[in-house]
Structure formats: C-alpha cells, structure tokens
Chain A
Amino acid sequence: MKTTYLLIPLAPLAGAIIAGLFGRLIGRAGSHVVTILGVAIAFALSVVVYQDVNAGNVFNGTVYTWLQSGGLTLQIGFLIDPLTAMMMLVVTFVSLMVHIYTIGYMVDDPGYQRFFSYISLFTFSMLMLVMSNNFVQLFFGWEAVGLVSYLLIGFWYTRPTAIYANLKAFLVNRVGDFGFLLGIGLIAAYAGTLDYAEVFAKREALAAITESVTGWPLITAICIGLFIGAMGKSAQVPLHVWLPDSMEGPTPISALIHAATMVTAGIFMVARMSPLFELSDTALTFVLVIGSITALFMGFLGIIQNDIKRVVAYSTLSQLGYMTVALGVSAYSVAVFHLMTHAFFKALLFLGAGSVIIGCHHNQDIRYMGGLRKYMPITWITSLLGSLALIGFPLFSGFYSKDSIIEAVHASNLAGSGFAYFAVVAGVFVTAFYSFRMYFLVFHGKERYDQVPHDEHHDSHSDDHHGDGKPHESPWVVTLPLVLLAIPSVLIGFITIQPMLFGDWFGTSIFVDAAKHPAMSHMAESFHGPMAMALHGITSLPFILAVSGVAVAWFFYLKRPDIPAAIQKMAMPIFTLLENKYYFDKFNEVFFAAGSRMLGRGLWKGGDQLLIDGAMVNGSARAIGWISAVVRLFQTGHIYQYAFSMIIGVFALLTFWFNRG
C-alpha cells in the first residue's frame, strides 16, 4: 500500500514536471493529456485508499529521514486515516474537474502548458500537505501551495493588478506563517519531536507546562501560533485581505485553490491538531471569535460587489469563517464536513462564474449580464443548484453542514459562543441575499450584455472572435465538470452526514474532549436521520432567514431595482465603509507597506550611511587626516621655528623645575 501512497502525490508531480520543462516539446494537447493523466491516477488511487481506510486500515509510516540534528529526527512520512482519505478524495476530484475545465477555459491562452504544470504542481503540494504525518512536511506543503498560489495569481504577469495581488498574497501568508513557525518551534522545543503521533502522545504533559520565558501556558501559545498560520492560509480577519485580490488569477484556480482546497488547509490543519486545541479553551475562544467576525463581516462585503468572481470570493471568506466557528466550538468533524460540501458547491459556483465569463466574452461585471439562463442553460441550472447549496436550502449539501454548524454553536458553552451564534445565524440571511442578488442579476431579468463599456476588465489575453457579442453556452469540457460537481453539491450532505458527524467514521483522526465540550454529543442526541433533519429545518429560524434573503434579493434586483440605489444613497457612510472593505487595505498600505519602506530608508540613510559610514568609517578616516594635518604644521623645515619652540620648551621645563618643590 505504501507504493500507492507514494504514487498519489508523485503522479501529479510527474505531470507538472513534464508539462513544465517539456511543455514546448509535447505541445498543448500533450501537456493537458499528461497532467490530466497524472491527476486521474491520483484520483483513482485515492478512491482505492479511501476504500482501504473505510475497511479500517490506518497507516502511519516514514518515507525517509529528512534531517537529524540535536536529538530531533525529522522525517517525511504519511498518515493515512479517514480525515486524510477524505481530503485526498476532495482534492484530487476537484483538481481533476478543474484540469478538464481548463482545456476549455484557457484554450486561447499562450501560457497553456505553464498553467497545466502549475495546477498539477499545486495538486502535488496539497496532497503532500494533507497526507503528512509530521509538521515539517506540513510546513513544506503549506508553503508549496502558497508558492503555486503566488505563481497562479500572477499568471498574467504583465497585469499590474495581478502582480500586486500575488505579492500581497504571499506576504500576508508569510505573516501567518510567522505564527505557524513559532508554534512549530515551541512544539519542537518542548515535545522534542515533530511527529504528530508522538506529539499527541505527550499532549497531557505539554498542557501542564508554562512557557519558561514568556510565562504563557504552553499549549495555548502553541495553538494560537498554529492558528495564526491558519488565519493566513484560510483568510481569516485580519489576514483575509489577500483572498479577494487573488481573483486576479484565472478562474479555474480561483475554484481549485482559492475556494475548494488550499484555503481550507487551515481548517484541515486545526482539525488535524484537535488533540492539542482541545486542551486550550483560550485558544478555542480565539478561534471562535475570529471565525465569527469573518463569517458575518465578510458576508456584508459580498453584497456590494459587482465583479462576479469577487462576490463568490467574499462568499468563500464568509464560509471559511463558518468552518472556523465550527472549529472553535470543538465541532471539528462539522468543520471538515462543511469543508467538503463547500469544496464541491463553491468549486461549482466558481467554475459556473468562469463559464459565465467565457459566455459573456470575458466581461465579469454582473451589472452587464442578466437573462443569461436563455443562452447558457447548463451553466444556469448548475449555478442555481450551487447557490441553493450555498444558502443552505434543505436537502442540499450545504444545508446539512451549515445547519450543523449553527446547531453546534448553539449547543456550545464556550466563552464567545453567544456572539458566534448571532453571527452565524445573521450570516444565513446575508449569504442568501448576496448569493441570489448575483444569481438574479446574472441569469434573470433584463439582458444587459450589450451595455458593457469598452474598457472593462478582461479575464484573458484572448481577443474575442465571437462576432455578434451574444452570450453563448460554453463547450462540453467546461459544462461537464459543472454537471459532475453539481451532483455532490446536491447529494453529498444527505449521504454522508450520518457517518461523518454522528457515526464513528473519523475514528481517532479527530479528537473531542466530550466532557469539556459537549456540543457534538448534544447534537447527536437530537439527530434522527437526514430526512428528519431536513423536515425540521424547514420550520427553523435559519430557513426563514435564508428564504427571506432570497425574497429580498428578488424584490430588490428583479422587481424594484430602484430600491437598492435609494438605500445606497440613504446609507452612504455604511456603503462607503463596505466599498472600502472596512479600510483594511488602506491601513495595511499606509501603515505596513509604506511604513516598512520608510523605516528601511530611514535605517539605511540615517543608520548605515550617516552614522556608521559617515561618522564612524569615513569619520575615522577624516580624523586621521585632520590629526596628520595638525601634526604636519610642526614639521615646517624652518630652523628659526624649531629654535623658537626649543626655547619655549626650555623655559617651560625650567619653570616646572623651579616650582616643583
């Protein structure tokens, strides 16, 4: 089985290397064949592994020793348990869909081979991350997916906005990694190992330790450090700022990286670390509060966006907040469950958005769409299904995961869970409102595709050769992934909620201290099967909120389009606040970016050039020059001057001699 495990990440890596180094040689078709083959192998083998794990086989073993130093043995190895197996399936499946989709989406792009190489490299990195059994490899995968994200956001490297966004994404993630690395450092220092199982075995001992220098409870410091890493990768406030800008990348990767998989790495990591997080209520409260803020306030921002991808991006931020909230109340399995359903429906929504973008000749502004359901029936239906899943409509996958989160928060007694409950419930209305605002503006109402101003944003280098400018349905390579993603978006929740949340499917891969954090067990008591849950859902508050969100969106944007404009005028300060994304970007630009540059300049000009070089280095050279100039005055070569100074000297000596006693 170990060979199978190895083959799963290596197959996409091989595809990436071949397409990357020999892309010109094997051509466009060769590149997509070889990379799709690699990912298809990874997916097929992941299915095999999944079945094996389902049969109760868990693997934890080493591939090779990476480094040995100072009593620390760092190994590259795999931990294959239910949590990993599920992640592998999600990653390889969505990746496969995106690979196929890309054939249609990037058809005109000169960087075709490069793109395939990157997304296969991403698949490799993400697999390394989820399959790891230790922190070193986790950190490798963590940074490698960050690298590919950097490469792909800046894929169209001549665009100023793209290369601004990719640098920003990398740096913001590095801020998170700063905390992450320190968390890992503390584990290494106090546990003496970076192997998951060995660290977990020492968890009770670690919980008793107080960090010697800072005086912090060690386990809380570790968990918060690790979570800061997750805040970067999974875009939690205030490190969320990179994700909306990452939409500069081509749409397939927005679906794969910035919605379905990479951004959920933080969620996965915290779930994986559940044995540690369970020991620190302080850390859990921190997680909970950050998650609630993200869930609610990022949702608000989705309401005012006009770029189709940005609406979906803010919705991703908000949903990541939901997952984080679930982690905070110790409902790790629920968080991972939502991660999975979200991966399907959000990838679907993004790919649907991409299909709309192709159909509208690379226009991304939803104000200039409308009525597309006539022209793009498959995209329309699948997007509708995705949106219903997103807002948590009963029986859809998103319903099961989101409702479970709300229930879990409700059942929690952790500090901050009151606020979190308000945030996630209010968030339901907001989600429904912005999702269907977009849906109605794009697929229903008046056709406005002919009103596009000419300097509009373009999502590709390609020129349009489509003649009449009418929207059109996308080719089958684009619509097939939509259909294949729509199926799990609708069904997966209904099928898997029982085993994943209330059965023992996750086994030992997720640990909950039921005595301290009873939310999950409370939920299990009131759960009577998925059908009963859906029926009960129809009478519950979240459902009413979701339906009213849809209704309000319909009324505002189809029935009375004058109302939103009027509201906007009335509530101008709020609108400005939202328009400026709560001024996070402005603050970062002024305080951190410009501040660092100024500090750097100040240290360079003031410290290095003025003080060290000016005063000390060249100063000592000048001092020596000055001393020699003074001393030179005495060496005039004139006898009478020498004689004169001799006489003065004699007088001085005589005076001294006579007055001495």
Chain B
Amino acid sequence: MNSHLLSIAIWVPIVGALFVLALGSERRDLVRWLSAVVAFVSFLVTIPLFMRFDSSMAGMQFVEHASWIPRFNIEYFLGIDGISMWFIVLNSFITVLVVLAGWDVIKEKQAQYMAAFLIMSGLMNGIFSALDGILFYVFFEASLIPMYLIIGVWGGPNRVYAAFKFFLYTLLGSLLMLVALIWLFIESGGSFNILEWHQLRIDMAPQILIFIAFLLSFAVKVPMWPVHTWLPDAHVEAPTGGSVVLAAIALKLGAYGFLRFSLPIVPDASHAMAPFIITLSLIAVIYIGFVALAQEDMKKLVAYSSISHMGFVTLGFFIFNPLGVEGALVQMVSHGFVSAAMFLCIGVMYDRVHSRQIADYGGVVNTMPTFAAFFLFFSMANAGLPATSGFVGEFMVVLGAVKYNFWVGAAAATTLILGAAYTLWMYKRVAFGEVANRHVAELEDINAREYLILAILAIAVLVMGVYPFPFTEVMHASVDNLLKHVAMSKL
C-alpha cells in the first residue's frame, strides 16, 4: 500500500498556504476562497485514510519510506495505525472549520492568518504520521512557529506575554526530548526509526531518565498539572481559530507522544511511574475542576476545562487496560469536537460584544435563541451528557479506572459533578436570565456561516455519542498491540 496519501495530507495544505501567501491580503475574497478550497481538499484526502484503513491490522499502514539525511540514518518515514489515524482526520476536519470561522472576523493580514493555519495543519499531520524520531521532532518544533505567530499577531492585548510563555514553556520541555532522541539513536546503534526503538532493550535507570525527558516535553503539551499555566493565557490571548486548533489538536500532540514514545519504548519506567502520572491526572481532574469553577473569563474557563478533560486522557493511558487507553483516545477525539465548538461559541459572542467576561453577558438566549440552543448542546457535551461524544470517553475511562483501583475511579468520577457545575453555571450566567445590558440587547443571532460550522460540529458530537462503535473499532488492533508491548519487560 504505497499511496503517498500521508505525504499529500501533509504537503497539500503547506504548499496551498504558500499560494495563499503569494496572493497577498488585499485580495480578500480570493484568499478566503482559496484557503477554503485548500483546507477542504486537504480534508478530502484524509477520507481514504479512514475508508481504506484495515482495522484488523495492528501495524503501520499507508507507510512511506525514503532516505532523508543518510549520514545520520534519518529517514522520511511515515505511517499511521489505529491510534494516529483519527487525529489526522480530525485535524484536517477542524482546519476547514477554522478557515470558515476566520472568514469575516479577521480583517488584517488575512492571507497570513489563513496560511498560518494551513501550515499548522500540514505540520500536525506530519507529527501524527512521522515514524522517524528526527522527522517527528522537526514537525513537533516547527508547529510551534505558526501557533506562536497566530497568538502573537492576531491575539488580544496581552498577546506578547502569552506568546512568549507558550513558546518558552513548550520549547524548554521539548529540548530534553531531543536529548532522549539522540540517546536512543546512539543506543540503537544509529537508528532514528521509532518502530525499531520499540524493540530496544534498555536498563531501568536509563529508562527512567528517558521517561522523564519525554514526560517533560509531553506534559507541557497536554498540559498536565503543574505545567499547565501557559494554556489559559495562550487561550485567552489567541484569536478564536487559534484557540480551536490549540484545544482540538495541539493538546493531543503531547498525549499522542506518550503512546508513540513513552509507553512502548520504556514500558518498565512507564509502569514504575504510573502511580505518579495517575496522581497528576487526578489532580488535573479535581484541582483544575475547582479552578475552572472560579473563572470569570469564559475562555479561561473552557481552557481550564480542557486541562481537566485532558487529565482523563493521561489517566486512561496509565491504567494500562484497553478500556482506559481506548477511552482516552475517544476522549481526545471528542474533546477535539467539543472544545472546538465551545471556543467557537465564545468566539461568536466575542465577535459581537468584544468581551469574554461572563459578567458582561446575561440573557443571551433572549436575543440569540438559535445560538443559545447550540451553546447549550455543547455545554452539555462538555459536561459529559450521554448521547454526546463527551460522555463516551469519560465513561470508558471511569470504567477502566474503577477496575484498576476503586478510589482512582471515584476520584475521576467527580468530574460528573465538577464538569456540570462549572459548565452549566457559566451557561446560566451567560445565556439565561433577563437581558443584562445594552450589548446583549443588540445581539444578532448567528448567520448562515456560523450556523453551518456549529451544526457540523453538533452532528459530529451526536454521532460519536450515539454510535461510538466505528470509532473504537479501528483502534482495537493497535491498542491491543501497544498494551501487549507495554506488558513485556525490556530489562
């Protein structure tokens, strides 16, 4: 199966972005339509990845293999399995929505704005399909740049602080990963092939060190408590599209890293460190849940809620049972839809009122009934209501956690209360009640474009909640294989 589909998924948006840049921002309509076409085509090419995916196969599919820097044995090596496939589809899907969301709102440097997102999308696809350590690292680090620019150029008043914080935090985290990659290169006798690293025998002491090096890098990305404080700042300052991509895709990179690197390469260290990671995850669920409750800025609230939801992901990974891992993967995809939708909803209001403060709203349902219905639907999904995608992953992880240890399950299940409390309390203050002020009174309901975006996401959330079977079906073989791998000692 040598179809170059993955390369197409990576390079179409990047090359398309260059054309968009070449058009220049003056030709607004052309820029917008070209960006939309590029994004849409990029999404279309990922559909065969899913349609032609062989779910009985545990190994890599759609593999592309070429030499890149022969001197160091660095290869252009791509491939996906049941773990990474959904993220490429999700990423390309979200990019279409992000382009649509920036249609009218972005007035300045629109060509650069669109190009940044398209490049970002291509790089993300690269991260999810790279099977060479250096290739992964290059994509991983390169993806910082467009996001840095998105926050730094189109962001809010405090964007410079936020952009720097975001950049330094993630860069510092990933430097140690580079060290680990080089160590693995030497130890494996000169290979950057990740799949070969999975077979490597490593002693306990270096395993722990490698685990920690990866942990720092991935924990910042997820983000896990206590290295999460860049995220609320980044979200608050980022434009709506930036927040959407950040929450829906960028946060998944760290979690994905655990599955591709930490667990299979250093399984013994992973087992040894599991109680520590589980503790951090539960702190994320509970501590961050309470912090979210106290937020006065809607975007901050949803940002904290993201951290709390990502706590479920890391929890699911480190209880080492199929329910936990698959539940965590489902949670990642679902969080991609739901958090994207939540940020888009806040963006809809921000575009009209230019405030994210909860206190500046109240009674939105009176003037924007259709919007309020969507917003409520996504809030409920965020609170994990059954029949929405938000429920499926949390449910699976809680079941897995109870099986692992009752108290871990009980601590995780508090999200049922906390998640509902912070989400619905926000909804109450924003949407319900009498019209609070002149700005709310002047609100106009969503237009056709906004309706389309939210409706597509709503359908995705609903389908995944009512019928999650096909989503998990493609994961089984790869997850089983991974867990088998993790169960074997490498000492």
Contact = CB atoms under 8 A, between A and B. Distances in A.
Contacts of A130: none
B424 interface: yes
Contacts of A601: 294
Given A147-B380, A158-B434, A178-B417, A67 B469 contact: yes
A182 B405 CA distance: 11
A596 B421 contact: yes
B406 A211 contact: yes
A170 B469 contact: no
Interface in B372-423: 380, 385-387, 391-392, 395-396, 398-403, 405-407, 409-410, 413-414, 416-417, 420-421
A187 to B, nearest CB: 9
Contact of A68 (B402, B420, B473): B473
A188 B433 contact: no
A70 B433 contact: no
Contact of A69 (B232, B327, B387): B327
Interface stretch (B188-196, B210-218, B269-277, B285-293): B285-293
B38 to A, nearest CB: 33
A69 B323 contact: yes
Interface residues of A, number: 51
Contacts of A451: none
B403 A139 contact: no
B290 A163 contact: no
A140 B387 CA distance: 7
Contacts of A160: 433
Interface in A611-631: 612-613, 616-617
Contacts of A147: 380, 385
Contacts of A613: 229
Nearest to A181: B413
A601 B422 CA distance: 13
Interface in A176-198: 177-178, 181-182, 184-186, 188-189
Contacts of B293: 596-597, 600
Interface in B291-315: 291-295
Contacts of B165: 617
Nearest to B410: A182
B472 interface: yes
A143 B392 contact: no
Contact of A175 (B386, B417, B467): B417
B304 to A, nearest CB: 8
Contacts of B287: 603, 607
A140 B405 CA distance: 25
Contacts of A72: 323, 399
B268 to A, nearest CB: 23
Contact of B467 (A66, A158, A211): A66
A160 B432 CA distance: 8
Interface string A87-112: 00000000000000000000000000
Contacts of B386: 136, 139-140, 143-144
Contact of B400 (A66, A70, A177, A213): A70
Given A144-B386, A182-B413, A612-B229, A600 B294 contact: yes
A171 interface: yes
Given A171-B417, A178-B417, A70 B409 contact: no
Contacts of A136: 386, 395
A69 B294 contact: no
A597 B421 CA distance: 10
Contact of A170 (B226, B290, B387, B424): B424
A607 B433 contact: no
B81 interface: no
A635 B433 CA distance: 64
A182 B413 CA distance: 7
Nearest to A189: B403
A612 B432 contact: no
A72 B403 CA distance: 12
Nearest to B435: A158
B406 A213 contact: yes
A171 B405 contact: no
B322 A71 contact: yes
B425 interface: yes
A214 interface: yes
A513 interface: no
Contacts of A68: 469, 472-473, 476
A154 B395 CA distance: 27
Given A170-B420, A174-B420, A182-B413, A69 B290 contact: no
B326 interface: yes
Contacts of B417: 171, 174-175, 178
B473 A70 contact: no
B413 A158 contact: no
Contacts of A175: 417
A143 B294 contact: no
A22 interface: no
A37 interface: no
B380 A608 contact: no
Contacts of A167: 424-425, 428
Interface string A208-248: 00010110000000000000000000000000000000000
A442 B165 CA distance: 67
Contacts of B73: none
B405 A213 contact: yes
A587 interface: no
B229 A188 contact: no
A608 B229 contact: yes
A657 interface: no
A67 B392 contact: yes
B413 A178 contact: yes
A607 B307 CA distance: 15
A661 B230 CA distance: 55
Given A211-B406, A600-B293, A69 B326 contact: yes
A95 B81 CA distance: 49
A244 B388 CA distance: 29
Contacts of A422: none
Contacts of B398: 181, 185
B468 interface: yes
A121 B365 CA distance: 20
A481 B428 CA distance: 34
B355 interface: no
A69 B409 contact: no
Contacts of A572: none
Interface string A132-163: 00001001100110010010001001101001
Nearest to A613: B229
Contacts of A659: none
Contacts of B396: 67, 69
B133 interface: no
B294 A604 contact: yes
A185 B413 contact: yes
A342 B191 CA distance: 74
B7 interface: no
Contacts of B421: 171, 174, 596
A65 interface: yes
Nearest to A173: B420
A607 B365 CA distance: 35
Nearest to A21: B373
Query: Would you list the 4 A-B pairs with minimal beta carbon distance, nearest first?
Result: A185-B402, A600-B294, A70-B322, A70-B323
24 contacts: A64-B467, A64-B469, A66-B467, A67-B396, A69-B322, A69-B323, A70-B322, A72-B399, A139-B395, A140-B387, A143-B391, A170-B424, A171-B421, A174-B416, A182-B406, A185-B399, A185-B401, A185-B409, A214-B407, A597-B293, A600-B292, A608-B229, A608-B291, A617-B169
Given A69-B476, A185-B399, 9 more contacts: A139-B386, A163-B432, A167-B428, A174-B417, A182-B406, A186-B402, A213-B407, A600-B294, A617-B229
Interface of A: 64-72, 136, 139-140, 143-144, 147, 150, 154, 157-158, 160, 163, 167, 170-171, 174-175, 177-178, 181-182, 184-186, 188-189, 211, 213-214, 596-597, 599-601, 603-604, 607-608, 612-613, 616-617
